[in-house]
Amino acid sequence: MKSLVTGGAGFIGSNLVRLLISKNVEVVVVDNLSTGRIDNLSGLNAEFVEGDIRDKDLVIKASKGADVIFHLAASVGRQKSIEDPQEDSATNVIGTLNIVDAAKVNTIPKIVFSSSAAIYGELITPTIGEDHPQMPDSPYGVSKLAAEKHLLVASQLYNLIVVCLRYFNVYGINQRFDPYGNVIPIFTHNILEEKAITIFGDGKQTRDFINVRDVAMINYLAAIKAKTTTVYNVGSGRSITINELANVMKQITNSKVEIVYSARRKGDVLHCKANNSKLKRELGFEPSLEIEADLTEYLSWYSSIAKVNE
């Protein structure tokens, strides 16, 4: 099997590339290195094409001969999208349409798309199934939902199988600190810098965290198992409060940093947990629930490698 991985030098993409190569899948990576890092692919036998998914000709050329496109390249982040919604949609919507065109031109039968739980917006129920109403409350959520809809329509028009994977809070190796990013690398950065951890709200809000190893495996299983167009929630199915998360990370590192509380941010949901029963039933995969062990691995990696390279 030959694959194209857009955003393959990024956090999730590089973990997927590593897994695909271990499965003897031929991999071509397209990444503009705006957030990805070439050293994430160090030692991996993948063809690398530096370029942007908004360049349709480049995407068509890079995907020639592929059996599947794993489309991970994106402009990511709620706040970032609010500050620059045009950039967000140019990448997430127009870039995705270029992926569709590449699949059409090169007769590629399957696209596995990295979507986001951000498409759901304000939550009606604390446990979220794939049928939860989709009312995004940020430009990022809107652009991810628009990309999904374009892909789902394309699957009907052009004889494509499309699998949309709606990620919850992904964490793990190769995830670096970004002030716009996930809470885990932000907490890690502050702990290692011996700076106070800031929690917005009272810290009782819950999130569903899933390790990137599981996300990579779910992408692979979607590529080899899915026979029809479909969508999956990609979460652990377990929630943890932000207070619990901060305290576990402090315990792992024996840190004495202070936890300070700030006003709840507008648009932040209170509780979030994926109903991943469809994922488990149809792909036959059980995500890890060993968050303390996985956090220990991540903190060790971050302190020994990522922090030095920031």
Which is catalytic among the residues 140, 171, 220, 302?
A: 140
Residue 180 among the catalytic residues: no
Q: Is 151 within 8 Å of 113 (Cβ atoms)?
A: yes
Instruction: List the catalytic residues.
Output: 140
